[in-house]
Amino acid sequence: MQPLITINDLGRKYVIGAETIHALKSVSLTINKGEFVALMGPSGSGKSTLMNLLGCLDTPTKGEYILNGINVSQMTDSELATVRNKEIGFVFQTFNLLPRSSAQDNVALPLIYAGIKKKDRDIRSIQALENVGLGNRVHHKPNELSGGQRQRVAVARALINNPSIILADEPTGNLDTKTSIEIMGLIEEIHSKGNTIIIVTHEEDIAQHAHRIVRMRDGLIEEDYLNKDIKTVSSKLAAM
């Protein structure tokens, strides 16, 4: 079976004045459909750069990135935007919701870019919110929702186009412990339905929910291993 993600000798450098910064030196890895991977590393390790490349938010300086059979390494910005909308669902630390739009309108936004008719957008966005436990909050705006509820809206938006991967960047970074556990429970549930999850985090306890951990340092992969001590939300709740 062909891997969902194949990366070969991927690198990214930035030229700032007379200085060249090698944010990502050389990374090679494969991720299969249905995996739950945590990408970890200290500040400056290259994990954020790799996340941007995986999410087609940036292009590499060298190397190859194959996503779901598509070589996205040398695509134009317009082509990358199409791939992002079709193949990738994003969940950000800061939620990235439109403040003046309802939960439903925020969730439906990717469907607008995909050219889906309003009637179908309405049906699918309401269903997506019901799936994350917010069926009674469809008309609420972000400032009328708690942090956890806002992140649930972001998760519903990430799932709306049935993407190949869910890319979560520090998804619990702005949440308290109890809400973080709830959001990780939701992410685990999404993974159990067959979705591929890549979570970027610096928090060890969050990474322990993943089935595979990739640790980075100085623009390189330091470790890549299966997690034999997976912490589920149910075990955490039992300990509380």
171-212: pLDDT as tens digits: 998 889 899 999 999 999 999 999 999 999 988 999 999 999
Helix/strand/coil for 195: coil
Q: How many domains does the chain have?
A: 1
Question: What is the rounded average pLDDT of the residues 139-158?
Answer: 94
Q: Which phi and psi angles does 200 have, rounded to 5°?
A: -100, 120
Helix then strand count (H, E) for the chain reads 8, 10
Report the C-alpha gap between 33 and 44 in whole angstroms: 28
CATH number at residue 186: 3.40.50.300
Confidence of residue 233 (pLDDT cuts 50, 70, 90): low
6's CB contacts (< 8 A; 6+ apart) are: 30, 64, 65, 66
**Which has the closest alpha carbon to 156: 132, 185, 186, 180?**
132
Q: Specify the higher pLDDT residue, 43 or 26.
A: 26
CA-based R_g, the chain, Å: 18
Q: What share of the chain is helix, strand, coil (3-state, %, to 5)?
A: 35, 30, 35
**C-alpha distances out from residue 79 to 58, 76, 84, Å:** 12, 5, 9
Token digits of residue 82: 């199409």
Confidence of residue 232 (pLDDT cuts 50, 70, 90): low
What is the domain range of residue 184? 5-239
80-121: pLDDT as tens digits: 999 998 899 999 888 899 999 999 999 999 999 889 999 999
189's CB contacts (< 8 A; 6+ apart) are: none
Confidence of residue 30 (pLDDT cuts 50, 70, 90): very high
pLDDT reported for residue 238: 46
Helix axes 147-159, 103-113, angle to 10 degrees: 20
Report the C-alpha gap between 227 and 222 in whole angstroms: 15
Confidence of residue 158 (pLDDT cuts 50, 70, 90): very high
Strand order in the sheet with 212-217: 88-92, 165-169, 196-200, 36-40, 212-217, 220-226
Which residue reads 């070589």 in tokens?
71
